[in-house]
Amino acid sequence: MDAWYSDHHRAHQGQSELFGGKLVTSFETPQRAGRVLDAFLEAGLGLVYAPTDAGLAPILAVHDADYVDFLRGAWDAWHHLGRVHPALPMVWHAGRGLPTERPRHIEGQLGYYAMDAGCAIVAGTWPAAYWSAQCAVAAARAAADATAHGAAATFAICRPPGHHATARAMGGYCYLNNAAIAAEQLRSLGQPRVAVLDIDYHHGNGTQAIFWARDDVFFTSLHADPHDDYPYFSGHADERGEGDGYGATLNLPLPAGTQAPVYLAALDEALDAVDVSGSTATVVSLGVDTFELDPISRFKLREADYLEIGRRLGRRLPRPVVFVFEGGYATDEVGRNAVAVLQGFEAAG
C-alpha cells in the first residue's frame, strides 16, 4: 500500500478555535499529519509520493465554483483590510427564508460559506486544502490503475481533513471534501458504484450532503449520536437520502462511551450494507478520533482495536480501496492508530 502526502499542509494552522465557550489552541495541528507519515514509514507499508497537480477539475466536480473562488481569495481579501490574524466568521447565513445573495464584504462571505467557527483561514489555508485534495485525487487514480488483480489499496494522508465540507461550505476543520473528491474520481475512472465508509468519530455530514440525492455513491457512517455531539444537525438513523439517492445513505449513531464490542458490531452492520449496495470500489474516511484519549471525542476504543477494525475492512471491502485521513487529535497516538488500521487491512487481504 502506497501513500500520498504533501508538505503544503504545514503552512495552515488556525491557531485558535472556540471550544466549550472558550477560545483555545486549535486541536487540528500540522503535527497530526506528520505523526501519521512517520508511523506509515516506520511500519514499512509502502512508498510515499508527493501528488502531481491534477488542477481544479477534480475539485470542481464536487464543489461549487463560487465556493472554490472564495477559498482561493479569502486570505487576500482579509489581509487587504490590514488584518494579520486568522480570519474567522462572526455571522452566519443560516435558516430558511433568509436572503441568499452573496455579500461583497469578506466578513459576510466568511459566514456565507461556513457552517461553524472551526475553519480559520490563514495565508497557507488554500494551498494546504488544495494539495490535500490532490493527495486524494492521486491516491484514487493509483488505486484505480492497479486493480487488474482486484487488490489495490492506497492511502491519502490528507490535511486539512475534509468530510465535514459540503459542496459549498466549510466546517469542522474541513475546506475541501477529500473523500468525496476521491469517490468522484473513482466514478470517473469507470467504477459503476462507489461506497464511502466513514469511521471518524464525527458524522461525515459534508460527504452525506454531496451524495444525498445520488444512487451511484453509497454512504455509510458510524459516529457519535448527533443529539449529543458535533455536527448536531445530521447523522440520525432515519436519514436515508432522497430522490434517486433514497436508500443510498446509512447512518449508525452510537452513544458516548462506546467501546470495541458495540463499535465492531456497528462496523459489521455497515459492511453488510456495503455488500448489499453492489459497490465496486470503496473510500474509507479514516478518522481515529474514536480513541479513548482523544481530547474532543467520547468513544473508548483502544490502540489494539484499530488493528481489528482494519482486519474487518480487509476481509469485506470491495477493491479498489482508498483510505483518506480525517480526524484524530490525540497527537501522540494518532499515527500508530491510523497505521494500525492499514496494517490490519493488509494482513487480512
> In the structure grid, which three cell numbers stand for residue 125, read together?
489555508
Our answer to whether residue 12 is catalytic in this structure is no
Report the relative pairing of strands 321-325 and 281-286 from DSSP bridges.
Answer: parallel
Which candidate, 155, 173, 167, places its Cα nearest to that of 13?
Answer: 173
Catalytic residue among 8, 9, 164, 203: 164
Is the N-terminal amide bond of 231 cis, ω within 30° of 0?
Answer: yes
Which candidate, 242, 223, 219, places its Cα nearest to that of 232?
Answer: 223
CB 349, CB 314: distance < 8 Å:
yes
CB 239, CB 269: distance < 8 Å:
no
Start-end of H helices in 113-192: 125-145, 178-188
CB 214, CB 244: distance < 8 Å:
yes
Burial class of residue 244 (count of CB atoms within 10 Å of its CB; 0-12, 13-18, 19+): exposed
* CA 334 to each of CA 169, 296, 304, 338: distance values in angstroms, whole numbers, following the listed order: 27, 13, 13, 6
Active site residues: 164
